[in-house]
Amino acid sequence: MEKSRDSIWVLAEQIDCQILSVSLQLIGQARKLADALGTSVETVLLGDHIEEQAKVLIAAGADTVYLGNRPELEVYQPEMYCEMIVHLARERQPAIMLIGSTFMGRELAPLVAARLQTGLTAHCVDLVLDENKILEAKIPAYGGLLSIICPQKRPQMATIAQGVFCKPELDETRTGAMIPLEVPVDIPQRIQTLEVVREATDGVEMESAPVIVAGGAGAGDPEGWRKIADLAQALNAALGSTRPAVDEGWAELETMIGQSGKVVSPQLYIGVGLSGEQQHMVGITNAQVMVAINNDVKSPVFEQVDYGIVDDCREFVPVLIKKIKAYQEKKITC
Ligand SMILES: Cc1cc2nc3c(=O)[nH]c(=O)nc-3n(C[C@H](O)[C@H](O)[C@H](O)COP(=O)(O)OP(=O)(O)OC[C@H]3O[C@@H](n4cnc5c(N)ncnc54)[C@H](O)[C@@H]3O)c2cc1C
């Protein structure tokens, strides 16, 4: 293999032979950074029967795809995936390595970073280059964005949530190299994924939802949470949450919006009983219209939304649902 140091890598992810959008979004951003650095974008894709998917990565902007296309790689295997990536990275020495902040990425990135003895910035909300062409990985902190750099070690690693960057236009005419990877025989397999059981998701999927109702600690208890869930249902909206709602067990982790959760871009976002903490709000910066319902007139959330309703959500939400239903019925009979 010809040596290609200092490239930007994206560890791409596929599930059931479908490339995740976050991987394509990262290739789009990697392309911009690579053009500024005068280097190439390379991707690693592991799975089975994924040759066609590798072409999608090239169409999205990758110059090279390292392709591990074997039955034993069909589903994510932490030790095997880690070993293959570490081995390849030691040989090819990328300057930057990006990975989606998915269930796989959140586990794999620190495993790889520890083996390569380099730094990793998790849950970034932006990636830029500083004046020395070092990666500035930005995370929300102290009421603003903090830039984390890794000037000494390589690769500079970061995980980024889905939705932070836009998906690039696919250009089917682009060409790139596809380099097959062998699976080393001596990889320890103390942890093996034997079966993948998918949870049935009820309600509307958050990533593509035009309307999102997100609830926070102000729900108070499971009954208060149910009212917020009913509001989401009445609006045919996806139900999102803040971290306390997840910690309380009212909401599933997959519904959490923000720095360590999902990044969403609905047309309408309604935040109920939440304070507008930055770690939550970075997940909804692309929302078109934002509404907050909070009983504290001084809550910082009101400075960040287009419309604010000062009221107790436990009383206001049921009234709002009634009004919405009445409006919907009237509309149907008109
Ligand atoms: C590294 C890191 C990452 C994090 N990542 C995330 C993340 O991804 N997503 C996330 O959400 N959080 C995240 N957090 C936590 C975050 O900092 C906040 O603690 C959290 O977002 C606050 O949630 P909240 O607004 O529901 O709760 P609170 O801040 O407690 O706010 C509750 C609000 O409800 C209002 N309220 C109370 N009772 C009522 C009522 N009856 N009616 C109406 N309003 C009422 C209150 O006035 C208050 O404004 C992270 C924190 C850290 C340190």
Residue to probe by mutation, ligand 1, list 138, 148, 247, 275, most atoms within 8 Å of CB = 275
Question: How far, rounded to the nearest angstrom, does the alpha carbon of residue 330 sit from its chain's CA centroid?
Answer: 39
Q: Which residues contact 199 (CB under 8 A, 6 or more apart)?
A: none
Whose CA is closest to atom 53 on ligand 1?
279
- Altogether, the residues listed in the chain come to a count of 334
What integer pLDDT is reported at residue 171 of this predicted model? 97
Q: Which residues contact 58 (CB under 8 A, 6 or more apart)?
A: 65, 174, 175, 176, 178
C-alpha distances out from residue 271 to 96, 241, 266, 290, 296, Å: 36, 9, 12, 8, 13
Residues lining ligand 1, Cβ inside 6 A: 216-218, 220, 242-244, 256-261, 273-275, 277, 279-280, 293-296, 299, 312-314
Q: Which helix (H) or strand (E) segment is 167 a member of?
A: none
For residues 58 and 189, what is the distance between their CA atoms, to the nearest angstrom?
31
Q: Which residues of the chain have pLDDT under 50?
A: 334
User: With contact defined as beta carbons under 8 Å apart, do 192 and 134 qualify?
Assistant: no
Q: How far is the CA of 232 from the centre of ligand 1 (A)?
A: 19
Q: How many CB atoms lie within 10 A of CB 4?
A: 17
For residues 195 and 328, what is the distance between their CA atoms, to the nearest angstrom?
44
pLDDT (tens digit per residue) in 48-89: 999 999 999 999 999 999 999 999 999 999 999 999 999 999
3-state SS, residue 43: strand
Strand partners, 44: 11, 66
Instruction: Give the residue from 28, 263, 269 showing the smallest Cα distance to 162.
Output: 263
Spell out where the chain has E strands: 8-11, 14-15, 18-19, 41-47, 64-69, 96-100, 120-124, 126-129, 135-141, 144-148, 156-160, 177-180, 211-215, 238-241, 268-272, 289-294, 307-310
Q: What is the pTM of this model?
A: 0.83
pLDDT (tens digit per residue) in 257-278: 998 899 999 999 999 999 999 9
What integer pLDDT is reported at residue 74 of this predicted model? 93
